[in-house]
C-alpha cells in the first residue's frame, strides 16, 4: 500500500473532498480513516489539488482534516476457485463470514478477503515446462463443485510467456505458486490460484465475439415460445412495482439452461435475496441433480446498503461472470434492478453538482448502460471453446412509465424486451409479460411461423375485445366472439403459468413444442356454436381441462387421458362434422 495520504476538506453525504499532494489516479481506491476503522472510497473527480471521492460506507463522524490514504489501485475483485455458492456484498465482502465476525449488523469499515485463504484445492496441471502461453490460457484446473475451474494466466498480462515451472498435481492453497512464467522480455512472474481484475474493465482474453443465436430456455412458456432469450444475449424486464419483475427473475434463475447463475441484487429488498439464499441450497438443479446453490453466486447490495457500493455491485457481478465465461461456461447474470444502479449514478452526479440530464439523471447514463450490457455476449476462446454471458436486467421505471430515461436507454441495447404490465398483474395474469407489446430478436423453441399465427390470434382477440367495449357483446358477430374466446383461452392456458405449482411452474422446451402444437390445432379448428353463451361455456370448460393438463407430468398416464378428453371436446363442436 502506498504512503500517499491526503486530508479531508469537505463532507457532504457520501462525497468527500480531499486535498492530495502526489499524483492520484482517476477511479483509484482510497481509505478514509475514522478512528480505528478505514472507509473504502473511490476517486471520481479530480480538480486542481483536490479529489472528490465517493465513500462506499456511511460517512457519519468524518471530520475536516481527517486522513485519507490513496492506494493507487483501481477497484478490483478477486477471481479464483471458491467464488460459487458465495454471497458477497457489492465490494465482494463475503456476507456470511462478515456475520460471523460482526453479528447482526453490517459494521462499516470491516473488509474481508473474498476467498478463503486456508482452503486447499486439488490442482491438476494442463501445461508442461517449455510450453508457450498467453493471457487467459489454462495452466491447470481445480475441481469447484461440479465444475472444472480453470486456473488461467492473468488476463492483464500482455504478450507470450514461456512456462518455466508448473506445479505437480496436488493440493494447494490460493496464494501458493502453481507456475512460473517468463515473458518475451525475460521477466519472470509467479501465477497463483487467484488473480485480481479491475471491475470496470471488460475481460477480453478471447479470440472473437460471436452472434448470439442459440435459444436459452427458461421454462417460462411466454418467454421461450413468444419472446425468447438467446445465450449470450441481453434482455430487460421493465415493469411497474408489483408486476412481478423479481419473481420472474427468480424463476429464470432456477430454470435457465446455463451453467452458472449470478444474481446481482442491486438496491432491491433484502428479503428477496434472503429467499434465494435460504431456498437455493434446498432446491435440486434438474440438470445435475445437485443443489441449485452449487451453480449460483449472489452479489447483494440491497437498498439500505450504501449507495456507492450499489453502483460497484453490478460491475463486480459482471466481472465474475466474465471470469467463468473464460472457462468455456455459459453464465447468466440477473441484475435486479438496473434502475437502482442508475439512481445511484444520479445521486452521485447530483452531489458532484453536474449539469443534470433528463429527470436529473446524468448525461452519460446512456453510454454507461450500453457499456454494461455490452459486456454480455458469446465468445470463442483461444482454445476454441465457447463461453457466454447472458445479461438480464430488470428496470423499475418511475410511475411505471416506460418513456423514462433508464428504460429507453436499456431498450436500445438489449435483444429482447419483456415488458410487464400493471393491467395484467391486476388481473392476476402471471407472468404479467405483455403479450402484444413485448418483442425479441432471438429465435425461440417453436417454429417462427406457429408463434406468429398465435400472436395474430392474440392481437385479433384483443381487437375484438376493444370493439366489444364499444359495441357490446350483442353487436359482435359470433365468429369474432369465438376469436376473442380463443385468444383468451391461449392466454389462460399457455401465456399464464402458475409459478407456485410444482409442474406448471416449469415447462421444458420439448413439452412446450408439443403442447403448443396441440393448442395450434385447437386454435386453427373452425368451431361452431349455437350462441355466445354456449361458446363461453365451452371455452370455460376447455380452459379448466387444459389447466388440469398443465398440472400433470408429461409421463403421467393422466397426461394422455386429459389430452384425449380435450380432443374429444373440440371434435364435438368442430364445424367440420
Partner 1 sequence: MNNKVYHRIEEVAGNVITLRADGVRYQELAEVESPQGASLAQVIRLAGDRVSLQVFAGGRGIPTDAKVRFLGHPMETSFSEALLGRVFTGSGQPRDRGPRLTENMIEIGGPSVNPAKRIIPRNMVRTGIPMIDIFNTLVESQKLPIFSVAGEPYNPLLARIALQAEVDVIILGGMGLKHDDYLYFRETLEEQGALARSVLFVHTAADPTVECLMVPDICLAVAEQFALKNERVLVLLTDMTNFADAMKEIAITMEQIPSNRGYPGDLYSQLAARYEKAVDFDSAGSITILAATTMPGDDVTHPVPDNTGYITEGQFYLRNGRIEPFGSLSRLKQQVNGATRDDHRTIMNTMIQLYAGYKETLEKQSMGFRMSAWDSKLLVYGERFEQEMMDLSVNIPLETALDRGWAMLADCFEPAETGIASKLINQFWPKAHAETPDNGRQEERNHLEAVASSD
The CA-based dihedral angle spanning residues 211, 214, 220, 223, taken in that order and rounded to the nearest 10 degrees: 40
Nearer to partner 1, 285 or 347 (CB): 347
Q: Which is nearer to partner 1, 350 or 385 (CB)?
A: 350
Nearest alpha carbon to residue 492 among 219, 217, 218, 222 = 222
Cell 463443485 belongs to which residue?
Answer: 145
Q: Of 398, 505, 569, 570, which one interacts with partner 1 (CB under 8 A)? A: 398
By CB under 8 A, the residues from 106 to 125 that bind partner 1 are 106-108
Q: Which of 163, 256, 292, 305 binds partner 1 (CB under 8 A)?
A: 305
Residue 487-506 contact track with partner 1, rule CB under 8 A, x = bound: -----x-------x------
Nearer to partner 1, 127 or 492 (CB): 492
Least separation in angstroms between residue 343's CB and partner 1 is: 6
The stretch among 21-29, 155-163, 275-283, 522-530 that binds partner 1 (CB under 8 A) is 275-283
Tell me how far, at minimum, the Cβ of 338 lies from partner 1, in Å.
13
Report how many residues bind partner 1 under the rule CB under 8 A: 85
Element (H, E) at 335: strand 330-336
Question: Residues 562, 568: contact at Cβ < 8 Å?
Answer: no
> Minimum distance between the CB of residue 566 and partner 1, rounded to whole angstroms?
14
- Least Cβ distance, residue 398 to partner 1 (angstroms): 6
* 337: preceding bond cis by omega (within 30 degrees): yes
CA dihedral sign of residues 200, 90, 117, 144: negative
Task: Examine residue 270 and tell whether it contacts partner 1 (CB under 8 A).
Answer: yes
Compute the least distance from the CB of residue 255 to partner 1, in Å: 17
Report the alpha-carbon distance of residue 3 to residue 53 in Å, rounded: 18
- Which backbone phi and psi does 215 adopt, to 5 degrees? -65, 145
Which three cell numbers, joined as nine digits, stand for 196? Answer: 485480481
Residue 456 touching partner 1 (CB under 8 A): no
Q: How far is the CB of 59 from partner 1 (least distance, A)?
A: 5
Out of 173, 455, 547, 569, name the contact with partner 1 by CB under 8 A: 547
CB of 441 to partner 1, least distance (A): 28
d(CA 455, CA 466) in angstroms, rounded, equals 16
Q: Is the distance from CB of 121 to CB of 173 less than 8 angstroms? A: yes
Q: Which of residues 40-69 bind partner 1 (CB under 8 A)?
A: 58-65
Instruction: Give, as ranges, the residues between 81 and 100 that touch partner 1 (CB under 8 A).
Output: 87, 95-96, 98-99
Q: Which of residues 281-300 bind partner 1 (CB under 8 A)?
A: 300
Pairing of strands 330-336, 386-395: parallel
In this complex, which beta carbon is closest to partner 1, that of residue 427 or of residue 574?
A: 427
SS3 373: helix
- Our finding on whether 105 is near partner 1 (CB under 8 A) is yes
Give the span between the Cα atoms of 551 and 503, in whole angstroms: 5
Kindly tell me which residue out of 302, 338, 421, 438 binds partner 1, with binding defined by CB under 8 A.
302
Residue 474 interacting with partner 1 (CB under 8 A): yes
Maximum separation of any 2 CA atoms in the chain, in Å: 92
CB of 284 to partner 1, least distance (A): 18
Site for partner 1, residues 314 to 373, rule: CB under 8 A: 337, 340, 343-344, 346-347, 349-350, 353, 356, 359-361
Nearer to partner 1, 155 or 529 (CB): 529
Q: DSSP states of 116-139 as a string?
A: -SS-EEEEEE---TT-EE-TT-EE
DSSP 375-436: T-EEEE-TTS-EEEEEEEEEE--GGG-TTSHHHHHHHTT-SEE--B-HHHHHTT-SS-B-TT
Using the rule CB under 8 A, is 557 a contact of partner 1?
no
Q: Which residues within the stretch 426-445 sit at the binding site for partner 1 (CB under 8 A)? A: 426-428
Extract the C-alpha cell encoding 13: 453525504
Site string for partner 1, 138-177 (x = CB under 8 A): ----------------------------------------
Q: For residue 569, state whether it binds partner 1 (rule: CB under 8 A).
A: no
Q: Give 102 or 436: the residue with its C-beta nearer to partner 1.
A: 102
Q: Of 432, 486, 490, 388, which Cα lies nearest the Cα of 223? A: 432
Q: Which residue has the cell 389462460?
A: 492
Amino acid at each position: 500500500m502506498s504512503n500517499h495520504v491526503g486530508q479531508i476538506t469537505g463532507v457532504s453525504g457520501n462525497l468527500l473532498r480531499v486535498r492530495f499532494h502526489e499524483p492520484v489516479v482517476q477511479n483509484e481506491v482510497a481509505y478514509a480513516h475514522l478512528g480505528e476503522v478505514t472507509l473504502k472510497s473511490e476517486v471520481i473527480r479530480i480538480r486542481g489539488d483536490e479529489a472528490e471521492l465517493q465513500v462506499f460506507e456511511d460517512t457519519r463522524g468524518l471530520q475536516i482534516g481527517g486522513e485519507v490514504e490513496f492506494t493507487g489501485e483501481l477497484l478490483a475483485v478477486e477471481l479464483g476457485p471458491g467464488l460459487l455458492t458465495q454471497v458477497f456484498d457489492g465490494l465482494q465482502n463475503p456476507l456470511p463470514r462478515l456475520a460471523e465476525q460482526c453479528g447482526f449488523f453490517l459494521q462499516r469499515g470491516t473488509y474481508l478477503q473474498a476467498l478463503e485463504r486456508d482452503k486447499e484445492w486439488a490442482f491438476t496441471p494442463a501445461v508442461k515446462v517449455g510450453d508457450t502461453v498467453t493471457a487467459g490460457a489454462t495452466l491447470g484446473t481445480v475441481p469447484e463443485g461440479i465444475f472444472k475451474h480453470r486456473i488461467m494466466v492473468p488476463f492483464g498480462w500482455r504478450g507470450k510467456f514461456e512456462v518455466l515451472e508448473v506445479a505437480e498435481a496436488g493440493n494447494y492453497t490460493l496464494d501458493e505458486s502453481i507456475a512460473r512464467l517468463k515473458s518475451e522480455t525475460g521477466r519472470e512472474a509467479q501465477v497463483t490460484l487467484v488473480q485480481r481484475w479491475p471491475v470496470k474493465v471488460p475481460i477480453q482474453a478471447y479470440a472473437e465475439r460471436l452472434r448470439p443465436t442459440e435459444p436459452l430456455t427458461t421454462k417460462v412458456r411466454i418467454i421461450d415460445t413468444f419472446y425468447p432469450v438467446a445465450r449470450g444475449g441481453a434482455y430487460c424486464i421493465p415493469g411497474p412495482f408489483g408486476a412481478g419483475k423479481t419473481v420472474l427473475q427468480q424463476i429464470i434463475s432456477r430454470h435457465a439452461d446455463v451453467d452458472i447463475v449470478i444474481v446481482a441484487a442491486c438496491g432491491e429488498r433484502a428479503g428477496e435475496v434472503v429467499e434465494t439464499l435460504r431456498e437455493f441450497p434446498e432446491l435440486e438443479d434438474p440438470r445435475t441433480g445437485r443443489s441449485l446453490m452449487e451453480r449460483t453466486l449472489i452479489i447483494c447490495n440491497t437498498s439500505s446498503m450504501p449507495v456507492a457500493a450499489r453502483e460497484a455491485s453490478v460491475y463486480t457481478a459482471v466481472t465474475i461472470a466474465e471470469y467463468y465465461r473464460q472457462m468455456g461456461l455459459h453464465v447468466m447474470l440477473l441484475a435486479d434492478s438496473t434502475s437502482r444502479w442508475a439512481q445511484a449514478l444520479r445521486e452521485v452526479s447530483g452531489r458532484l453538482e453536474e449539469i443534470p440530464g433528463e429527470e436529473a439523471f446524468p448525461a452519460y447514463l446512456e453510454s454507461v448502460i450500453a457499456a454494461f450490457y455490452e459486456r454480455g455476449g458469446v465468445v470463442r476462446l483461444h482454445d476454441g471453446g465457447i463461453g457466454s454471458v447472458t445479461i438480464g436486467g430488470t428496470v423499475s421505471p418511475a410511475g411505471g412509465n416506460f418513456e423514462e430515461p433508464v428504460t429507453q436507454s436499456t431498450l436500445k441495447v438489449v435483444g429482447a424486451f419483456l415488458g410487464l404490465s400493471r393491467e395484467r398483474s391486476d388481473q392476476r395474469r402471471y407472468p404479467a409479460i405483455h403479450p402484444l407489446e413485448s418483442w425479441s430478436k432471438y429465435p425461440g423453441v417453436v417454429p417462427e411461423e406457429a408463434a406468429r399465427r398465435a400472436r395474430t390470434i392474440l392481437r385479433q382477440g384483443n381487437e375484438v375485445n376493444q370493439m366489444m367495449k364499444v359495441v357490446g357483446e350483442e353487436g359482435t358477430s359470433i365468429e369474432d366472439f369465438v376469436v376473442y374466446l380463443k385468444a383468451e383461452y391461449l392466454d389462460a392456458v399457455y401465456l399464464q403459468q402458475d409459478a407456485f405449482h410444482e409442474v406448471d411452474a416449469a415447462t421444458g422446451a420439448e413439452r412446450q413444442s408439443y403442447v403448443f402444437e396441440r393448442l395450434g390445432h385447437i386454435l386453427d379448428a373452425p368451431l361452431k356454436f349455437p350462441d355466445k353463451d354456449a361458446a363461453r361455456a365451452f371455452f370455460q370448460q376447455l380452459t379448466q381441462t387444459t389447466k388440469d393438463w398443465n398440472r400433470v407430468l408429461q409421463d403421467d398416464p393422466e397426461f394422455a387421458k386429459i389430452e384425449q378428453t380435450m380432443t374429444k371436446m373440440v371434435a364435438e363442436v368442430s364445424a367440420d362434422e
